[in-house]
Structure 1
C-alpha cells in the first residue's frame, strides 16, 4: 500500500520589513513521502519570503509542469515561478519563458546547485536568482518541525529571524546570480 502525504500546519506571524509585508498566515502543507523535511522547510520559507496575493503551493509531484510554489494573477497566468532545491537548466529555461519572474530557493550547497547550469541555455538567466541560507540553518529549523507548528518569521535587511515551536535561529538570505 502506498503511503499518503503527511499534513503539517503552520500558524505564522510574518513581518517582512524589507518588502513591507505584515500578515498572519495559516499554511497546510502536504509533505509527500519522497519529500525530505529540509525540502519542505525550504518550500515553506520560500512561500513566506515571496508572500503576495495569488501565491500558492502547486500540486507537487503530480504536476510536473509547475514549480513547488507559484504566483498567479487574476487571469490565472503564472507571474512568479518559485523552484525549490536544484532544478535542471531545461526546467529553468521553460520557467523563465513562462513566468515574469523565476527564482530558486535551495537547502543545498549553492555552489553545487549552480555548477550544472554553467554554459547551459537558460532564457533570461541574468534575471534568475538562486537564494540560499547559512549552513545549518535549515537543519536547525527541521529539528523543530512538528505536525502543528507556530512560527514567527521576521526579515530585515536580508536577515531572516525564525522562531519555530519555541526554537529560535537566524540566517542571512544569500543571493547567487546564475553563471
Structure 2
C-alpha cells in the first residue's frame, strides 16, 4: 500500500520527467513532496475544457482532478502578458504608496530627532564645560541614552527605505 496521498496520471508522470528532469522511479515521491505544502489557488479550466484544481509551489503548477487526489499535469509557472501588466501596475502603485509612507516616516523621525539632536549638542557643551567628574559622568550617561534614541530612529528609517528599495527592485524586474 502506498503512503503517498497524491497519484500521478500517466500524462502527469510524462510531464514530471520531461519538464523537471525527475527520474520515473522518483516522480511520485517528488510530486507528493511538492504537493505537501503547495498552495491551492483556484479551480481551473484547461484549453481542452477539462476542469481541475490548480495548486502552486515554488514556480511549479499542479493541476489535479476536481474530486480524486490525482495530479493530471505539472508545468512550470510563467506569467502571461496581460498578468504582467496588471502585476506591474499593482506593484507600481505599491511602490508609490511605500514611497509616501517612507517620506511621512522621515518627516515624523525628523520631528522626533530634532529635539534629541538639540539636546545632544547641549549635553556635549555641558560635558565640555563641566568641572565635576560625577556631573560629567551623569551628562555622559544621558548623552549615551540620547544617542541611542537617535540611532534607533535612524535605523527605523533605514529599514523603511530598504523595504522601499526591495519593492522597487521587484517592480523593475517585471516592467
What TM-score bracket applies, with the shorter chain setting the length? under 0.3
RCO higher in 1 or 2 (8 Å CA, sep ≥ 6)?
1
Q: Which has the higher helix share?
A: 2
Q: Which has the higher strand share?
A: 1
